[in-house]
């Protein structure tokens, strides 16, 4: 079954928020790009393989000076506001030393070098959660509980920073095999808010319908307010619909379904 894709969001922002989204080229502090020009990187880096591809992005693996990097190329059909938003979110999270992301080293959405925008990350061997679920003969109960605990911690920290991911799904979670600590991917649809205050309204639904909270699709649709608890709900859907069926023992499947229910119930209490 093909992964469903939905349009990128149009988020209603205040003039102050709109004016600060002017980041077209980002260079992370204390990275190789402190002393390395991007042209030198691409001239010397060796392409190894394509890691993943979709209708809007291709992620490729490169090696440079015996170190591996993941480069995500983004089709220019994606609006710049979404890409600027993603850079701004990564910058905030990296400055806060948020532990549940890959390190973004460089980004260029100005389309001056390639016909696409691109993001360069440190690379760790591992799987997207969707790959892991698809390729493993079975998933252990221990993995399910470890994943759930780490995602609970990640969302608590993320929301504490005033950020909603807005598109939690297996394709947007990476599992490095060195640590098995999940990393959140793709913040293009993320929403910033002030903890304790109402989150902003969105003029389009965001995320993937299969993993989205039912309240995120009011009818007739005009605007809605995405809430922190909706991210927790998405984790519950992953546990119930994707992970539980891949566990062989029936009684252990039941434990994971109960764990998913915990996220559904927990989400009800994570109000602004």
Task: Give 3-state DSSP helix, strand, coil % of the chain, rounded to 5.
Answer: 40, 20, 40
Cα gap 118→58, rounded to integer Å: 9
Span 10-33, average pLDDT: 62
pTM of the model: 0.86
Does residue 58 sit in helix, strand or coil? strand
C-alpha–C-alpha distance, residues 50 and 3, integer Å:
18
148 - beta bridge partners? none
Burial of 266 (0-12, 13-18, 19+ CB in 10 A): middle
pLDDT at 135 over 50: yes
What digits encode the pLDDT tens for the residues 61-72?
999 999 999 999
Separation between Cα atoms, residue 132 and residue 124, nearest integer Å:
15
Q: Determine the Cα–Cα distance for residues 155 and 232; give it in Å rounded to an integer.
A: 7
Query: Domains of the chain, with CATH numbers?
Result: 15-122 (3.30.200.20), 126-268 (1.10.510.10)
DSSP state of 7: P
Tens of pLDDT, residue by residue over 245-259, are 999 999 999 999 999
Q: 149-176, pLDDT tens digit by residue? A: 999 999 999 999 999 998 999 999 999 9
pLDDT in tens, 43-87: 999 999 999 888 888 999 999 999 999 999 998 778 788 899 899
Q: Is the separation of the CB atoms in 60 and 51 below 8 Å?
A: yes
The rounded percent of the chain whose pLDDT value lies above 70 is 84
């Amino acid at each position: 079954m093909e992964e469903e894709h939905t349009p990128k969001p149009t988020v209603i922002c205040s003039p102050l928020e709109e004016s600060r989204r002017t980041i077209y080229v980002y260079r992370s502090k204390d990275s190789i790009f402190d002393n390395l020009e991007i042209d030198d990187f691409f001239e010397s880096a060796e392409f190894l393989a394509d890691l993943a591809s979709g209708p809007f992005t291709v992620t490729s693996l490169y090696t440079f000076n015996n170190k591996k990097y993941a480069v995500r190329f983004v089709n220019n059909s994606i609006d710049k506001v979404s890409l600027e938003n993603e850079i701004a979110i990564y910058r905030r999270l990296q400055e806060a030393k948020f532990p549940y992301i890959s390190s973004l080293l460089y980004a260029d959405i100005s389309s001056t070098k390639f016909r696409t925008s691109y993001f360069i990350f440190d690379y760790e061997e591992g799987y997207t959660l969707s790959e892991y679920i698809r390729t493993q003969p079975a998933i252990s109960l221990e993995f399910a509980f470890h994943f759930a605990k780490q995602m609970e911690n990640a969302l608590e920290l993320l929301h504490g920073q005033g950020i909603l991911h807005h598109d939690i799904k297996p394709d947007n979670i990476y599992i490095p095999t060195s640590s098995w600590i999940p990393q959140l991917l793709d913040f293009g649809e993320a929403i910033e808010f002030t903890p304790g205050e109402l989150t902003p309204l969105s003029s389009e639904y965001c995320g993937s319908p299969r993993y989205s909270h039912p309240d995120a699709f009011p009818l007739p649709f005009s605007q809605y307010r995405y809430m922190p608890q909706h991210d927790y709900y998405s984790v519950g859907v992953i546990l119930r619909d994707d992970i539980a069926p891949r566990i062989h023992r029936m009684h252990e499947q039941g434990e994971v379904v109960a764990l998913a229910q915990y996220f559904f119930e927990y989400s009800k209490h994570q109000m602004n």
